[in-house]
Each structure stands twice: as C-alpha cells, then as structure tokens.
Structure 1
Amino acid sequence: MFADDNEPRVPQDAIRIGQDLSLLSVDELHQRIRILEGEIERIRKDIDAKSGHKLQAEAVFSRK
C-alpha cells in the first residue's frame, strides 16, 4: 500500500491522542506529560493573545 502524498506525515515518535500506552515506560509517560503540558501552555497563550486582539477590535469598531 502506498502512502497518500496529500496526507500530512506524522513522525514515528509523535504523540497521538488515544495511542496505546501499554508499551511505554514510566519515564516515557512522564515525558509525554511534559510535552503535552507544554503544548497546553502554548495553546493557552495563543488563546489569550487572540482574545486580546478580539477585545481591541471590538473596542475600535464599537465606538460611536
């Protein structure tokens, strides 16, 4: 079977939601937690930045 060139390539060691964890060591599981917590923090910062931009835009466009 050939890989679909239109599908994004996922690195072999990429974290996938729902992935079987039974073969991972405790250290590997702790590493996954650190990676995911870092990603959560990155997403929260992006949400905060976008929320700030939205509030600024609403302030500009709602002036009368």
Structure 2
Amino acid sequence: MAIFDDEPRKKPRPHEIGQDLSLLSADELSERIGILREEIERLEAELKAKGSTKSAAEALFRRG
C-alpha cells in the first residue's frame, strides 16, 4: 500500500499570458493551443450574444 495515494494531485496550471514557454513540451503547447482556441470560440459566442441583445434593445427603443 502506497502512503502517497491520499495526497491530492496537482492540477496543471492554466495558461498565463506572457508566461515562459521554453519549459513546456510540444504536447503541452499543443494542448494549450486547443484550450485557448476553445476559449476564443466561447468568447466570440458571448460577444455575438451580447451584440444580438444590444441590437434588440436598440430596435425596441427606436420604435417609441
């Protein structure tokens, strides 16, 4: 029985803008690129949703 089984595993640190990339492996870099692409898609979807809401509000106030 290992005595270290109960120790929590360290979570990988999230990507930080401007961090030193020289210590990351090619696989780690590819993984971070995927994570950042997903985040960009999420941000663009939110931006689009906010644009739609703003357009609807503007249209509502133009009627009056």
TM-score range with shorter-chain normalisation?
A: 0.7 to 0.9
Q: CA RMSD in A?
A: 1.3
Q: TM-score, normalised by structure 1?
A: 0.79
Tell me the matched-pair count. 54
* Aligned position for 2:59: 59
Q: Structure 2-normalised TM-score? A: 0.79
For 1:20, give the aligned amino acid: D
Unaligned runs of 5+ residues in structure 1 are: 1-10
Distance 2:42 2:50 in 1: 12
AA partner of residue 23 (structure 1): L
Partner of 1:15: 15
SS of residue in 2 equivalent to 1:49: helix
Q: Specify the code of the residue in structure 2 equivalent to 1:34.
A: G
Percent identity among equivalent residues? 52
Q: d(CA) in 2 for partners of 1:12 and 1:46?
A: 26
Deviations 1:15-39 (A, max 9, x none): 1000000000000000000000000
